[in-house]
Amino acid sequence: MSLPGKDEPRVDAVLDAGTQTEPDTVISAGDRARRDIIDGLKAWQIWTALAWHDIRVRYIRTMLGPFWITVSMAVFVLALALVFSGVFNSDFHEYLPFLTAGLLVWGLISGVLLESATTFSSAYLIILSVPAPYSIHIFRAVLRQVIIFGHNVIVYVAVVLLVGVPVTPATLLFIPGLILVCITMAWLNLLIAAAGCRFRDLQPIVSSMLQLVFFLTPLIWDRSLIGGKVHSLWIEANPFYHLIEVMRSPLLGKAPPLLSVLCVVAMAVVGWWLTYLLFRRFRRRIPYWL
């Protein structure tokens, strides 16, 4: 255990409501940060319930319930596919699955990022009343988007049945792809959530960046569709392209490109390492920023 610095406050015995840790042990900032994330993961029942609760409450007085997610995705995909298969002069049956798979993954990524900056500030009541790990709010937010993704998968299944996308053993690779993307989104969410309660400009910055990224990333267009007029550096230097590709390729029945897998693994590892360093430094300031 590392010793706390001279001026660093020492708080003994971290207490979660319900569980008691051994008292009279000095806990340093680093330990608290690590414990926050580990205890947060252990409290999976709480954030799973909270994530489902969010979905339920959002649609509680609607007729279709959470299947509104599915319907709006289906309408969006169908309309875009009809127009843009014409724009790119491409075969609708080939374009539709490409577009659907891409937008499916994009929905997950942009959904997490859009709510990242307000993850902590919207949970301020819990943060200021209950000594629970902060990371549960992150896991809750990521899982909420995964649940929405699950509803959107129905649209994809319909497309598969409709136009006959090849289902191969490689299709199963979308599961490790999903896990990799979630790990990456979790640190991004934590980083943006903490920074977002200190710097309130982050929310508008993130949402306008996302609009830009939506057009810069091959989602409605692809290299083959525009005849190589975009330099591949534009595509491959874009981290979002790799995040999309580790899931989109398997969904289209192909193994993901090795470069994309390596990039996403690197993002997950380096990102978590950097985020952890910042989190151990700034964790205790979070309630002051709310």
Partner 1 sequence: MSSIRLDNVLVEIPIYSGVDRSLKFNLFRSTGAGKILRSAGGAIARDQRNRIVIRALDDVTLDINDGDRIALLGRNGAGKTTLLRVLANVLEPVRGTVRISGRISTLFNVSGLLDPELPGYENILFAGGLIGIPRNKLKALLPEIAAFAELGDYLQMPVRTYSSGMLVRLGFAIATSIEPDILLMDEVIGAGDVHFVEKAVHRARNLYQRSNIMVVASHNPALLHGLCNKGILMDRGKVVMMGPLQEVAERYEKNDWATNPAPASAAE
Q: Applying CB under 8 A, does 2 fall inside the site for partner 1?
A: no
Is the Cβ of residue 44 or residue 92 nearer to partner 1 in the bound state?
44
Segment lying near partner 1 (by CB under 8 A), choices 99-107, 153-161, 249-257, 282-290: 282-290
Is the Cβ of residue 223 or residue 285 nearer to partner 1 in the bound state?
285
Q: Determine the distance from the C-alpha atom of residue 107 to the mean position of all C-alpha atoms in its chain, rounded to a whole number.
A: 9
Segment lying near partner 1 (by CB under 8 A), choices 19-27, 97-105, 157-165, 186-194: 19-27
- Contact assessment for residue 206 and residue 115, using Cβ atoms and an 8 Å cutoff: no
Q: Using CB under 8 A, pick the residue from 75, 130, 255, 274 that binds partner 1.
A: 130
Q: How far apart are CA 234 and CA 44, in angstroms?
A: 39
Q: Using CB under 8 A, pick the residue from 1, 2, 45, 229 that binds partner 1.
A: 45
Binding-site size, partner 1 (CB under 8 A): 35
- Contact assessment for residue 116 and residue 141, using Cβ atoms and an 8 Å cutoff: yes
Is the Cβ of residue 133 or residue 256 nearer to partner 1 in the bound state?
133
Cα-Cα-Cα-Cα dihedral sign, residues 64, 68, 70, 71: positive
Is the Cβ of residue 188 or residue 197 nearer to partner 1 in the bound state?
197
228: alpha, beta or left? (left if phi > 0; alpha if psi -120 to 50)? left
Q: Applying CB under 8 A, does 38 fall inside the site for partner 1?
A: no
3-state secondary structure of 25: coil
Segment lying near partner 1 (by CB under 8 A), choices 54-62, 168-176, 181-189, 201-209: 54-62
Q: Applying CB under 8 A, does 10 fall inside the site for partner 1?
A: yes
Q: Which residues contact 178 (CB under 8 A, 6 or more apart)?
A: 146, 149, 247
Q: Which residues contact 85 (CB under 8 A, 6 or more apart)?
A: 91, 92, 95, 96
**Binding residues for partner 1, per CB under 8 A?**
7, 9-20, 23-24, 45-46, 49, 53, 57, 60-61, 125-132, 198, 284, 287-289
